[in-house]
Structure 1
Amino acid sequence: MKRFEVKDDAEAYKQSFDHLFLHSGQEGIKAFEEMMENLTNELIDFHMQQTQPYSGKSPAEIEREMIRLKPASEQGESFSCYLKELEETVLKNSLHVTHHKAIGHLHCPPLLPTLAAELIIAAFNQSMDSWDQSPSASFVEEKMIQWLIQQFNLKKESSGTFSSGGTQSNYMGLLLARDYYCDKKFGHNVQKKGLPPQLNKLKILCSEEAHFTVIKSASQLGLGEEAVVKVKTDQDHKLCLQDIEEKYNQLRKNGEFPFALVATCGTTDFGSIDPLEDLAAFTKENDLWYHVDAAFGGALILSGSHYEKLNGIERADSIAVDFHKLFYQPISCGAFLLKDEKNFKYLNHHADYLNPKEDDEEGIPNLVNKTISTSRRFDALKLWTSLRVVGTNKFREMIDHTFAIAQQTADVIDEMDDIEAGNRYPELNTVLFRFNSKEGPAADLDEINKQIQQHLLYKGTAFVAKTKVNKEVYLKFTILNPRTDLSDVKSILSEVWQLGMKEIENRRVTI
């Protein structure tokens, strides 16, 4: 390998990098201004031309275009040339979540102030793992955590950390629950000694409609998927209190150790909220760690019409909440809240170069002590910026508007002959429905609904999701965008009906 040598003219050599970084020198400032101007103009032009949420291309078509792209350039190339290629290949083939007919998944349009915050975060590139890497940012994150604690009505000894989202937060909740239980029940320190001999008897309770990350976390925590005991749900897709009593009693009778209950505040499909107050009482009575997955429903802290549905969440031992859903933040942005800050000790480790013990004694806020992450972005700035610039009143209006549109959508579906609702009265803002015309054979309806979803996607006119309810295929609106109105969903429903009837006719011709 050829040895690299620094050039003789060190100053000139250093200046050859000046245009590549934002710094106090004129070359860096000029390059930054030009690049941001090109990018801003490109994004404006591109969005002005977009009339559909998706280009309609298939995975195979996009893959063929991506294959032609070169991954790197030895000598570098102009940003404007690269930007043009980016537009033609990546941007044009992306899902445009800001479009009012992109209402498939829990995938929100980001607020403009958060885009500005993203630029600040990237430009300063602070890492939240130690105070000396994020001097002011550490205190801003702590301030935003305290704001969240107040909004959820948690106690003053509560704390938390920003996370990448619900998956990480749910994992952390169950990690702390496991280690807390092993410490208190068996006097066993998992951090130092590893998993206890009673490992295969440790059990987690959750509803059968809880997020898949409960099972995923159990497998990653060494408990195994079979450690998760699923509780039946009622007709409203909420955890059944009678069944959890029976499941818990049976576990205890079998000599097993149920140590945690995960309640869901906003299921992915139905937006259902488990009976939080009743489950809080149940966990207290049976000495279970109470984790609430409010990745979706946590935004109700800003709602004027649905806030009371959070009653009982303040008694949780830990809470997951996402901001890249109904808080309209760019991915990724979430938080993990903990009722008793002392329980962060179960994941705390000290490194001399990063967060030495003497820093704790001096009150230096090294936030790595509260998370499973090390390097971590200053995502709290996004939430802070949007709350200050947009204001909580406007947040309340936007969130409650989506709830109102969801209910109006369910009302429209209820009046249609060939489309049936999966949830007549949406708890949040997801609406399930199914093309179910009696003119078509019942055996074909699942395939017809799949085809409808694909036709909408590949025509590019609308993006709706599909899922299964009782093994039957349903379509789903997730109405996060406050710019989506009733005329939009009526238009999509009309197209759903037309596509469904066309599929039935095609099958008749084939037969």
Structure 2
Amino acid sequence: MTPTSDLRDAAVADPPRADPPSAVAPPAPVPADALSGGPRGADALEPLLRTVLGALAEGAVRRGGPIAAGRPAELAGLVAREFDAPGGEDALHRLTELLAHGSADPADPSCAAHLHCPPLAVAVAADLAVSALNPSQDSWDQAPAATSLETLLLEELAQLVGYDPAEAAGVLTSGGTESNLMGLMLARDRVLGRATSGRIELGGVPGWKLDGTPRPRIFASEAAHFSVRRAAALLGLGEEAVVTVPVDSTLRMDPEALAAALDTAVRRGELPVAVAATAGTTDTGAIDPLRECAALADRHGAWLHVDAAYGGGALLSDRLAPLLDGIALADSVSLDWHKLGWQPAAAGVFLVRRAETYASLARRAAYLNPADDEEAGYPSLLGLSLRTTRRADAFKIAVTLRTLGRAGLGRLVDTCHDLARSAAETARAHPQLEPHCEPVLTAFVFRYLPEDPRLAGRADAIDTINARLRRGLLRAGRAVVGRTELPGDGPGRVRLKLTLLNPHTTPADVAGLLATVVTAGRAEEEALLRGEAQ
């Protein structure tokens, strides 16, 4: 027998045996103080991620719909009990399952109240990488690759807006509120500084009541985001510095009213500092007349800031991008990809058309961005942000754009726009639903109209029914529908709102959601009549 046959026969006679199941060692538990970075970081994360994914699924099943049923106090009590329970190795599973159970799920077709998008899985996965590595954007040596990536992404987004990327500048922000604050801060520093021959960021806001300095004014529509007024307060201008400009029935700023307001301010000796135009109001998605706003701002030497936190997503769509004609004329722009961009929050973007207008924000800290480092080729983003420590939120947006491209994201935008139009068509065909106006983007505003003639003509009763039916749907865990009020005074202004950001929702889902609203409205109508009869 040859040596080869000896080996073959030995293998047949005595095959290698695997250890019995009882002898296989279970996976070692992850130490509570394990780190997510380093060569072994992925090993530590893997079993924990399995725990999280399992708990997310269990919590979703337990929730059983778009939101957990019950009143706020009931959920708060449940959270308090879990929070106060003894800790240990199961804390991650218990609290994650609780979070999933007690969260509104924007991926559910019946969750359509807010600009609260269901994030793309690829964006969430990319965000995990950022959380694990924890780069901070305030110095190059904390985020070498992320610094370069954010710079490249902002150049691409500047081009999307219509800016020259070689001249523009920007930064990732926490969202529209921070971006609006930055835009109005730069407007204050530049316009008021020019009028007073001073540096506002150094000397402060002049006391117009004391020294005769022209009173600074910001012009924004009645439907502008509340953060415009908040920014005016934070910037030392005061909320009363904001001049409210009337809107039309779709909540779009009236350009003739803006022109009149600017002229009136100038006649009074006041200083137009900024026009804050909106591209996508939170209710109807209305887009202010951007070209007219730009021309009027330029005529009066004012800064034009465009809040496109919602409507900026239209730039991804060939169909809807023309609605933002004129946005490239803005001095600054706010975008939010955690709205119509399907990113996990936060994914805000702030852009300026000309980098030199950023001058008043520039700061130098010896331990973060010393001049000799920058001269040696080590760039810093510190002077572009209001924040110091800052996540690499550009990464998930970059991954998403490279995965789907503008065309892929544009298809998602168009799908959601189609859903809004479908909702309007369904509502128009139903006698108990009254659309407010045609959808501009992906939001649809409407109200329930009572059937009973004793209530049909009563504006106060209609408001009460619409407010109650929304809360009733929340308590039952059946739907998350938005509620808003139209500009003006008195009853008859309450409206419901569907903000349709789930591209996997179908027209049938939307029709079913509206039918749920009608059923809830009829129940509240009957309850109101019973209460009035008592």
State if a TM-score over 0.5 links the two structures. yes
Indicate the larger mover: 126-135 or 385-394: 385-394
Distance 1:360 1:342 in 2: 18
Question: What residue in structure 2 maps to residue 35 of structure 1?
Answer: 48
8 Å Cα contact 2:248/2:254 also seen in 1 = yes
Distance 1:421 1:24 in 2: 55
Match of 1:501 among 519, 522, 525: 522
1:266-281 → structure 2 map (5 Å cutoff): 266-281=280-295
Match of 1:458 among 475, 490, 493: 475
CA drift of 1:507 comes to 3.1
TM-score of the aligned structures, taking structure 1 as reference length? 0.92
Match of 2:121 among 109, 112, 119: 112
SS at match of 2:112: coil
The answer on 1:186 being equivalent to 2:196 is yes
Q: 1:196 to 1:414 in 2, by over 3 A?
A: same
Give deviations 1:9-55, integer Å, cap 9, x for gaps: xxxxxxx97951135566x5543222122222333444466541011
Match of 2:173 among 163, 187, 212: 163
CA drift of 1:492 comes to 1.6
8 Å Cα contact 1:264/1:274 also seen in 2 = yes
Match of 1:374 among 355, 369, 388: 388
8 Å Cα contact 2:189/2:199 also seen in 1 = yes
Q: 1:87 to 1:193 in 2, by over 3 A?
A: closer
Identity of aligned residues (%): 34
Question: What residue in structure 1 maps to residue 424 of structure 2?
Answer: 410
8 Å Cα contact 1:18/1:25 also seen in 2 = no
Distance 1:330 1:254 in 2: 46
Structure 2 gaps of 5+ residues are 1-29
- Alignment-mate amino acid for residue 398 of structure 1: L
Question: What residue in structure 1 maps to residue 262 of structure 2?
Answer: 248
The answer on 1:486 being equivalent to 2:507 is yes
Structure 1 gaps of 5+ residues are 1-15
Give deviations 1:371-421, integer Å, cap 9, x for gaps: 111000000001011111223222111100111111121111111111111
Question: What residue in structure 2 maps to residue 143 of structure 1?
Answer: 152
Question: What residue in structure 2 maps to residue 10 of structure 1?
Answer: none
Distance 2:84 2:185 in 1: 39
Question: What residue in structure 2 maps to residue 468 of structure 1?
Answer: 485
8 Å Cα contact 1:125/1:377 also seen in 2 = yes
Q: 1:391 to 1:259 in 2, by over 3 A?
A: same
8 Å Cα contact 2:60/2:100 also seen in 1 = no
1:191-206 → structure 2 map (5 Å cutoff): 191-198=201-208, 201-206=215-220
The answer on 1:235 being equivalent to 2:249 is yes
1:2-81 → structure 2 map (5 Å cutoff): 20-24=34-38, 30-47=43-60, 51-70=64-83, 77-78=88-89, 81=90
Distance 1:389 1:231 in 2: 41
8 Å Cα contact 2:116/2:339 also seen in 1 = yes
1:81-92 → structure 2 map (5 Å cutoff): 81-87=90-96, 89-92=98-101
SS at match of 1:20: coil
- Alignment-mate amino acid for residue 427 of structure 1: V
Give deviations 1:161-211, integer Å, cap 9, x for gaps: 110110000000000000011322211111221222436701101111110
CA drift of 1:229 comes to 0.4
CA drift of 1:353 comes to 0.8
SS at match of 2:273: strand
8 Å Cα contact 2:63/2:102 also seen in 1 = no
Question: What residue in structure 1 maps to residue 12 of structure 2?
Answer: none
The answer on 1:397 being equivalent to 2:411 is yes
Distance 2:301 2:265 in 1: 14
Match of 2:272 among 258, 281, 292: 258
8 Å Cα contact 1:57/1:93 also seen in 2 = no
8 Å Cα contact 1:280/1:312 also seen in 2 = yes
The answer on 1:128 being equivalent to 2:137 is yes
Match of 1:447 among 458, 464, 472: 464
Question: What residue in structure 1 maps to residue 26 of structure 2?
Answer: none
Distance 2:70 2:63 in 1: 15
The answer on 1:432 being equivalent to 2:445 is yes
Distance 2:405 2:303 in 1: 34
8 Å Cα contact 1:200/1:227 also seen in 2 = no
8 Å Cα contact 1:170/1:214 also seen in 2 = yes
1:209-228 → structure 2 map (5 Å cutoff): 209-228=223-242
CA drift of 1:438 comes to 4.7
Distance 1:404 1:22 in 2: 42
Q: 1:403 to 1:23 in 2, by over 3 A?
A: closer
- Alignment-mate amino acid for residue 70 of structure 2: K
Q: 1:502 to 1:160 in 2, by over 3 A?
A: same
Distance 1:246 1:200 in 2: 18
Distance 2:108 2:271 in 1: 48
1:92-111 → structure 2 map (5 Å cutoff): 92-111=101-120
8 Å Cα contact 1:104/1:464 also seen in 2 = yes
- Alignment-mate amino acid for residue 59 of structure 1: P
Distance 1:405 1:411 in 2: 10
Distance 2:234 2:160 in 1: 31
Q: 1:180 to 1:309 in 2, by over 3 A?
A: same
Q: 1:86 to 1:285 in 2, by over 3 A?
A: same
Q: 1:361 to 1:30 in 2, by over 3 A?
A: closer
Q: 1:69 to 1:157 in 2, by over 3 A?
A: same
